[in-house]
Each structure stands twice: as C-alpha cells, then as structure tokens.
Structure 1
Amino acid sequence: MSVMKKVLNFYINSSLHLAFSVTALAVISVLQFQIELNSTVLLFIFLSTITGYNFVKYAGLAKLHHKSLTGNLRGIQVFSFFSFAGLLYVASLQSEKVLWITVLLGIVTFFYAVPFLPNQTNLRNLKSLKIFIIALVWAGATVLIPLINQHPIFEQSVLLSFFQRFLFVVALTIPFEVRDVIYDEDHLGTLPQLLGVENSKKIGYILLISFVVLKFFIETVTWIQFLPKLITALAVGIFIYKSTKKQNRYFSSFWVEAIPIFWLALEVIVYWLL
C-alpha cells in the first residue's frame, strides 16, 4: 500500500474527515445566523466528533482485542487519546450552556455504543433508530452548540434550522445504509432492510426536497443565497441515486462525507460575493 493511501485511510478511519464535515456544518450555522465565529467552540465540536465517533467505532474492539491491535488501530487509539486530552482542555473554555448541551448529546452517544437495556442492547441496536439518532446528534452539535452563546435557540428560525439539518443528515446517511445493508443484522431494521434500497432512495429524495423548501420558512433569501442549498441537495441526491450495496470503499466514507465541506465552500463563496 502506498504512503498516500495509508495517509488517506488513516485520515478517514481516525474520523478526521468526519470531524471536518461536522465542523463545516457548524460554520454554516454561524454564517446563516450571522453570529461571531468562535474558534474555541468550533475546535470543541471538532475534537468532540473525533472522540465520540472513535469511541463508538473502536472502544469495544480495543477492549476485546487489546493485545492483537494492528499498527493502524494502535495509531488511531493513540490519536484518539490525544484528541480526548485536547477536548478536556477546550471543554474548560466553554460556557455552561455549551457543556449542558454537550452532556445531553454525549449521553446519547455513550448509550448508542454501550449496552444498557435488557439482552445487552444499546441504542444502535434498537429497531429503526440508528439513522435518526445519528441525525439528532449531528443537528444538535452543528446548530444548537454554535448558536447557544450568541442566539436564542428556541426561536422558530433556530428550531426550523435544527429540523432542516436533521432531515439533511438522514438523507446524507442513506448511501451508508445502502452500503451496510448486506452487513447489518436483521433486527436493526434500517431503511433499506424495511423498505428496500429503491424505496429508501425515494425517501431520501423526499427529505432533500423538504430540506430545500424549509429554507423559505426559515428566512427570506435571494436566489444566490438559495443556490448553495439547492446545489448541495442535488449533490446528495446524485450520491443517493448512485449508491449500491457494493460500493467503492471511498464512495461513502470519503465522497459522501465530504458534501458538508463542499456545502460550506459554496456558502463562503456566496458570503464573499454579498
């Protein structure tokens, strides 16, 4: 394996790519509500994403196979430790409001991975909840946390933005659900398992249409301000259409996860044009 491919795999597997995507969505909220860009809050979101996702993905594996970890997984474990250490420091700089929301989202993330229900069941294994729990946490992390210090979060525009982000993340997750349908256990009841791949894609298109239309209920926008959302929705729709059970390993884990970064780039271009 080439050095560049090893670096790319580490970048994806360590959740760095995902953290940039989640942080990009947080910056989009900052631009949308025209509040001050708080670098410590964004760093907090970035490090929280790495720590949370790597805990979900690797904690159980590390516990069970500590002595047989591959070099790559050991590297991710070390990287996650330093990310967590950085997170503790950055957390000390946050307001109580940010920390309270983070605690609530953190509890959901913790029980997503750790069994606490009868028959050693966690939230991830509850039928049909997986995709919606992910969307709930993403929406909270990328809408509520960036805004709470500078903007009332119970205003209609914020609540609609939260719901809009929720719909977007559910749609964005569908290519992953399609990819994993041959690996997921039947009891998970994912959308492709319950509805089939094609019907799940149709649900995704409906969610994207709702995501676009909701923009007009949140604020009055010019056509150029509306364009980034429309282009982003079209991009997600194309990836949903192209998604199959047998995907290139980077189709979802790199390209689909990069869409929020692409969306942010479009928003920044429009921001500077205006």
Structure 2
Amino acid sequence: MKIFRQLFYFYIKGSIHVAFSCLTLLLITQQQLFFLKSSSLNGFVFFSTLLAYNFVKYESLVRVKKVNFRNELKVILVFSGLVFLGTIYYFFQLQWSTQVGAFFIVILTLLYALPFFPNRSNARNWKGIKIYIVSLCWALTTVVLPALEGGFSLDSTVLIYGLQRFIMVFVLIIIFEIVDLKNDDPLLRTVPQLIGVQRTKHIGFGLLVLICLLDFLIGNFRLFSLFFILITALFLAFAHENSAKYYTLFWVESIPIFLFLAQLSIATIRI
C-alpha cells in the first residue's frame, strides 16, 4: 500500500496528472473542430505542460531558497530534466508556425515564474493577474496550437472556441482559489479574496452559462459543453476553504479527463 501512495504522490506532485488534463483538452479540440491529429503536437503539449508546471512549482526553491531537498523532490527534479529532453524533441517535430506560437507561450510561462524586472516580483505574484495568464496559456496551448499545426486559419469559430476554453479554465482555477483561500498570500488578490466566496461562485456559475451561450453563437451546441457545465457547477458549488487538498489537485483537474473519456465512449457507441 505504501508504494501505491508514493506513486500517487509522485503522479500529483510531479505534475503528470495536470499534463494529462491539458492533453485531453487538446484531444477534445482536435475531435470537435476536426483538426488533424498530430502525435508530435500531442507529445509536445504533454511534456511541455509537465515541464512548465514543475518549473513554476520548484524553480524558486532552486534559485532562491536553496533548501535541502527531500528524496521525493530530487526524483521530481531529475524526472523534469528527462521531460525537458522530450519537450525539445517534440518541439522540433512541429510546424514552424506552431513553434512560434509555442515560443510565445514559453515567454508567458517565464514571465509568470521569473522576476524579470528589478525590484519586481514575478507575474505569478502580481495582484489578480495569475488567473488570466494561466487561462490564456491553456487556451493557446489547447486551441491555437492545434489550429496552427494543422494549417487552419484562426477564423471566428476557432477564436470563439478559444474564448470558451479560456473561460473553462478560468472557472476551474476559481475552484482552486476558493479551496486555497486560507493559504494564499492576501497580496495575491485572488477573486475570492477580492469579492468573497459566494460572489466568486456566482461569477463562476454565470461564466458557465456564457460557455453555453457561446456554443449557440457558433451554431453548434455540444453535449460536451453541457457535461462540463454540470460537472464543474457541482464542484464549484461544494468547494470551500476546508476542502481536502486532493479535491482540486486530483478531482477538479480530472474533469477534462472524465469528459474526454465520456466523449470517446459516445463516439464509440455511434460507430
């Protein structure tokens, strides 16, 4: 039993779970917008997401705090080094336009993690901006990159779909911010810190309705959107400051994975 706990700890702390979550959103985009499936892009998104999250979580420990690492963290850092090699390999398999888009996302990630300006903290600690940067990175990664890789134009349908994805991730992060309310630095000025938990939930519910309205604007209401709205609304409704840490780290981050499996099952039944 101990070995399973250690593996699960590594799966979560090593950002493997969140990388699978991002990958499934990419696969959902490819299926719904009929983008060409690209194993190179899939590999790049999985490895780069894993690398980016580990970089954001552990970079400051290496650069600033210089703490004595436990064995678990040492394993994660070595693992991240191997992931870096995988990221580079898949990056050079991408189309040139996709590489440019990926480079822009890398710049956003570095801006999020590193203090580039003298006497300034990184963007992660800028008041209220964290949620927008993360949502934008996920939308670009899971919608814009597959469009570029397949040579598709960024028309109104793709842009509206990208806006939907931005809102989806925004709502998921809201749940994280509610659960982390007691532990977050007040200077972060997260949404629940600014307006309270109940008003934050109301905004989240409103954004979920907006996702549905955007589907009608495209002229193609998707069952996926309805599933996402219902499941996310439940997690949002029951989120509170005393929720267990795996409420978000595992279950909320599993929502895209569950939806992808559901969509895959529906497609299989139709066949």
Is residue 2:237 matched to residue 1:266? no
2:27 corresponds to which residue? Answer: 27
Superposition RMSD on alpha carbons, in Å?
1.5
Is residue 2:247 matched to residue 1:247? no
Where does 1:114-129 land on structure 2 (aligned, <5 Å)? Answer: 114-129=114-129
Distance 1:158 1:16, change over 3 A: same
2:68 corresponds to which residue? Answer: 68
Specify the code of the residue in structure 2 equivalent to 1:256: V
Percentage identity across aligned positions?
34
Q: Distance in 2 between matches of 1:61 and 1:80?
A: 14
Where does 1:85-164 land on structure 2 (aligned, <5 Å)? Answer: 85-164=85-164
Q: Distance in 2 between matches of 1:167 and 1:110?
A: 22
User: Deviation at 1:46?
Assistant: 0.3
Deviations 1:122-155 (A, max 9, x none): 1111111111111000000000111212243420
Say whether the 8 Å CA contact 2:135–2:169 is kept in structure 1: yes
User: Deviation at 1:228?
Assistant: 2.4
Say whether the 8 Å CA contact 2:147–2:154 is kept in structure 1: no
TM-score by length of 2: 0.95
The unaligned stretches of length 5 or more in structure 2 are: none
TM-score by length of 1: 0.94
Deviations 1:49-72 (A, max 9, x none): 011111100011123455610010
User: Deviation at 1:109?
Assistant: 0.5
Structure 1 range deviating more: 239-248 or 148-157: 148-157
Size of the aligned set, in residue pairs, is 270
Q: Distance in 2 between matches of 1:179 and 1:261?
A: 21
Where does 1:33-44 land on structure 2 (aligned, <5 Å)? Answer: 33-44=33-44
Q: Distance in 2 between matches of 1:152 and 1:255?
A: 33
Where does 1:45-56 land on structure 2 (aligned, <5 Å)? Answer: 45-56=45-56
1:177 corresponds to which residue? Answer: 177
2:231 corresponds to which residue? Answer: 235
User: Deviation at 1:119?
Assistant: 2.7
Q: Distance in 1 between matches of 2:46 and 2:10?
A: 17
The unaligned stretches of length 5 or more in structure 1 are: none
Distance 1:72 1:265, change over 3 A: same
Deviations 1:213-272 (A, max 9, x none): 211222434xxxx32221221111111111111121211000000000011112222323
Q: Distance in 1 between matches of 2:244 and 2:67?
A: 31
Structure 1 range deviating more: 62-71 or 207-216: 62-71
